[in-house]
Structure 1
Amino acid sequence: MAWCWCRWRRWRRWCRWRRVLLCVCTPCISLALLLVYIMLFLAMHSLSAVYNQENVHFVASGTLRNESFAKTFWNLNMHGDAIWNHLQLTIDRQFNPILRPKNITRGFEDGTFYEQGFSEVTDVKRKVSQLPQQMQEFVSSMQKRDYATVLQPDGACGAGAEQEKEPPLLLMAIKSTESHFKNRQAIRQTWGRAGWVAGQKWNSRDGGYVRRVFLLGKEDTEELGVDSSEFLQMESKRYGDILQWDFRDIFFNLTLKDVLFWSWFSRSCSRTRFVFKGDDDVFVNTPVMLTYLKDQLKKPQAHKTMEDFMVGDVIAAASPKRDNKSKYFIPDSFYKGLYPMYAGGGGVVYSGLLAKRLHNMSKRVNLFPIDDVYVGMCMFWLNTHPVHHPAFLTFDFPIKEEVELCSYHTILLVHKRSPHQVVQLWANMKKTKAQCWDVPLRETDKKKTQL
């Protein structure tokens, strides 16, 4: 009995202390858990804010659709000796929101992160000296983007109608040069007319307001043989559609036209729904283009898909040209790996929302000497890609298809055509409109299918 009595007293004492411990410790434990929860919430919210600021997606290599490009692009050991890859990887690591969340926005506006990338690649000067002369000149100005504007349209977002009753549906942004006056005139008189343009279906709801702007640099007066600046000023005053910057208008600087255009568009074209960006030697079926774009806006969840909308003649898994006689020659000492998926530069259409996202993303992607490939790189960083449409014929019609009566009514774009051909084609389109108004867009692409 004595032994049982002792055990009973110890049990009562233990129960009493347990109640005391529970009363004292439970609030402390609860408070500690609450603090941990708050800290985790704030950390996740902070990281989410970083992502949402630029709408950037960071994905592990090898998980995207173009897996081979993701792996080859991010592998430093594989491509660390290529100048562009090394410079870009340095920038990516410096401004990675996971590794350095506090540095994600620093250096975007003043361009200091480009200089930082060059400074961290210690042997870049030795590698550059071994490149061809044209490539050396490109690398020497790779980090420069603050070029002055020489000429710009008087009205907001290019030449257009004075009395627009709704936001512009399409801005025609056409890459041209000072000497290509005939090309610009042919476009102004045909597929690039500004103002209200009727669509394919001939009714008041089909069509939209169109704006127009030509993108130019400055040509070398000695190479051109004449100083065309005064004439270009007269042209700009007459038509109000010239946007010119103070940089050399050469092939490797075409990327600057995209980057500077995106910046200008973000400031001047807040309400424009779509952008056509193309060369001045293409033919565009504008009425059908407007109908096609209006149909895209009617699709379910269009307000979401417009953030990534880009359509054209898509080229996937392309390799850099290693032939030094090619216009597109890229030495393997400058860039290694496959190109990302991109739309052919002859002509591409993307949304105004995407143009602004490309502007933000381009601030953290080093310039590349081939403009359409660079746009594909920016799209890759946005974790999206252009969509192929067989009505974009950047490599012309298949054999015998062009001679068909309604062939030009089934396309959105064809490359390449002279100013005289553009005027003739536009006139023929008008003549055959009644016969071909209801033909559908090209739906098959034999060349792409074979590939």
Structure 2
Amino acid sequence: TNSMRSMAAPATEIMPKSPHFVANGILRNKSFAPLPKTFWENQRHKKAFWNQLQLVVDHQFNSILQPQKAKRSMKNSSFDDFLLKKSFSAVRSFDNVMYNVEELPERVQDFTRYMQRRDYPVLLQPGGECGAQGKDEQEPPLLLFAIKTTPDNFNNRQAIRQTWDNGGAYVRRVFLLGKQNTKEPGVDVSELLKLESNFYGDILQWDFEDTFFNLTLKDVLFWSWFSHSCKQTHFVFKGDDDIFVNTPKLITYLQIQMEKPHVKKNIEHLKVLYPTQLLQGLYPAYAGGGGLVYSGQLTRRLHLISKRVHLFPIDDVYVGMCMVRLNAFPMHNHAFLMFDFPKNEGKDPCSYHTILVMHKRSPNQVSSLILIMQIPMTIDQQPLTKTH
């Protein structure tokens, strides 16, 4: 579900009541006085691997512990890379932490071994500047669709190309993917992917295995690519390849957002669980679901701050970890449907004109939704965007 305001008047942004979610393993005791919200913590969660790694990095930018180093610019990436590697050396000397890592599931252990690497080369990249459709355009786009996909999901990509992202002056498109996972059975599609890239010019592929725990790498590497290749873009839509987007309505909505002031209200936060040997404490507020929108400026800032935040295996949570360090928080919009309409609302064709994004849709369903959206409606049938 995601990050934007409703188009219906009055416009409303829905903010989380807390900038954090509660992770498994945190100590709860009402007799303790509440702690102030701090950017760093000195002695907490001594056995959690990620916490200890991040603690080493955060200490270097704490204005009390390191007043001189804290003033360094985020653009000093070599300094940040050195710190990330230094933190691994430091934490591996903690016997209690490494003992807990050995108790993690095998896939998570694999992640802890490879999480310090981020320098994967690009294998395929878009033919035009800033994604497909950008080759002959002079002006920067309003919106870039950055869609996470896998090498063998051609049908999903093709459905997107032929339906809700089939071109336009305001829009660019790029598909984000790694290499085919060698541990999963299937036909090698690497040569087919090269042909697809040559024909459509919208593939951005890196030299890492495309697995669930590597989804965070797609965010980090995309932010870097964006900051160098299309930093003038106004908005980025990051989504999965099984979604439907009402592109004309989304473009109208984004144009309105560039002019309107923000009004905020609170919503309750949700719980997410993960092994306590890897992370304990508070998760940041984050946007979960099939798609979210953030500005091009925030994308560039996420690229810089990510140099100081260790990778985490859940991509949406990692984005939240980076955003909280920028003092930025996600906003929910009811027109972003994580799954489906409530009750029987989806039986009314008019309902589909009220949404911006729908998640968990097959290629056939996406094609059907486009046909529904093309049904002409009378003036008295025109619905507002969903607000609840």
Residue identity in the other structure for 1:213 = V
Residue identity in the other structure for 2:78 = E
Q: Determine whether 1:390 maps to 2:334.
A: yes
Residue identity in the other structure for 2:290 = G
TM-score, normalization by structure 2:
0.84
User: Does the CA-based 8 Å contact 1:320-1:338 persist in structure 2?
Assistant: no
Q: Determine whether 1:214 maps to 2:178.
A: no
> Aligned with 2:110: secondary structure?
helix
Deviation of 1:161 (Å): 4.8
Deviation of 1:133 (Å): 0.5
Question: 1:223 aligns to what?
Answer: 184
In 2, the alpha carbon distance for the partners of 1:265 and 1:426 equals 29
User: Does the CA-based 8 Å contact 2:122-2:205 persist in structure 1?
Assistant: yes
Question: 2:162 aligns to what?
Answer: 189
Deviation track 1:404-432 (CA, whole Å, cap 9, x = no partner) reads: 22111101101110001101111111124
User: Does the CA-based 8 Å contact 1:393-1:414 persist in structure 2?
Assistant: yes
> Aligned with 2:291: secondary structure?
strand
Deviation of 1:139 (Å): 0.4
Name the Cα RMSD after superposition. 2.6
Tell me: CA distance 1:436–1:88, structure 2 relative to 1, closer, same or farther (3 Å): farther
Structure number with higher helix proportion = 1
> What is the aligned counterpart of 1:84 among 33, 50, 63?
50
User: Does the CA-based 8 Å contact 2:21-2:272 persist in structure 1?
Assistant: no
Deviation of 1:318 (Å): 3.4
Q: Determine whether 1:320 maps to 2:253.
A: no
User: Does the CA-based 8 Å contact 1:316-1:342 persist in structure 2?
Assistant: no
Q: Determine whether 1:108 maps to 2:77.
A: yes
TM-score, normalization by structure 1:
0.73
Question: 1:449 aligns to what?
Answer: none
State the percentage of identical aligned residues: 55
Tell me: CA distance 1:169–1:142, structure 2 relative to 1, closer, same or farther (3 Å): same
Question: 1:291 aligns to what?
Answer: 252
Q: Which ranges in structure 1 are unaligned for 5 or more consecutive residues?
A: 1-63, 197-208, 306-310, 322-329, 445-451
Q: Which ranges in structure 2 are unaligned for 5 or more consecutive residues?
A: 1-16, 23-35
Residue identity in the other structure for 1:90 = V
Deviation track 1:25-66 (CA, whole Å, cap 9, x = no partner) reads: xxxxxxxxxxxxxxxxxxxxxxxxxxxxxxxxxxxxxxx943
Deviation of 1:165 (Å): 5.7
User: Does the CA-based 8 Å contact 2:40-2:62 persist in structure 1?
Assistant: no
Tell me: CA distance 1:397–1:173, structure 2 relative to 1, closer, same or farther (3 Å): same
Q: Determine whether 1:377 maps to 2:321.
A: yes
Rg larger in 1 or in 2? 1
Question: 1:441 aligns to what?
Answer: 385
User: Does the CA-based 8 Å contact 1:315-1:343 persist in structure 2?
Assistant: no
Worse-matched range after superposition: 431-440 or 127-136: 431-440
> What is the aligned counterpart of 1:276 among 221, 233, 237?
237
> What is the aligned counterpart of 1:365 among 301, 304, 309?
309
Equivalent residues in 2 for 1:236-255, closer than 5 Å: 236-255=197-216
Bigger relative contact order, structure 1 or 2 (CA pairs below 8 A, ≥6 apart): 2
In 2, the alpha carbon distance for the partners of 1:315 and 1:250 equals 32
Residue identity in the other structure for 1:284 = V
Deviation of 1:102 (Å): 3.7
User: Does the CA-based 8 Å contact 2:164-2:244 persist in structure 1?
Assistant: yes
> Aligned with 1:417: secondary structure?
coil
> What is the aligned counterpart of 1:158 among 126, 131, 140?
131
> What is the aligned counterpart of 2:89 among 119, 126, 129?
119
In 2, the alpha carbon distance for the partners of 1:393 and 1:281 equals 12
User: Does the CA-based 8 Å contact 1:409-1:429 persist in structure 2?
Assistant: yes
Residue identity in the other structure for 1:404 = D
> What is the aligned counterpart of 1:144 among 91, 103, 117?
117
Residue identity in the other structure for 2:46 = G
> Aligned with 2:228: secondary structure?
helix
Q: Determine whether 1:410 maps to 2:354.
A: yes
User: Does the CA-based 8 Å contact 1:175-1:278 persist in structure 2?
Assistant: yes
In 2, the alpha carbon distance for the partners of 1:403 and 1:73 equals 48
Residue identity in the other structure for 1:285 = N
User: Does the CA-based 8 Å contact 1:213-1:242 persist in structure 2?
Assistant: yes
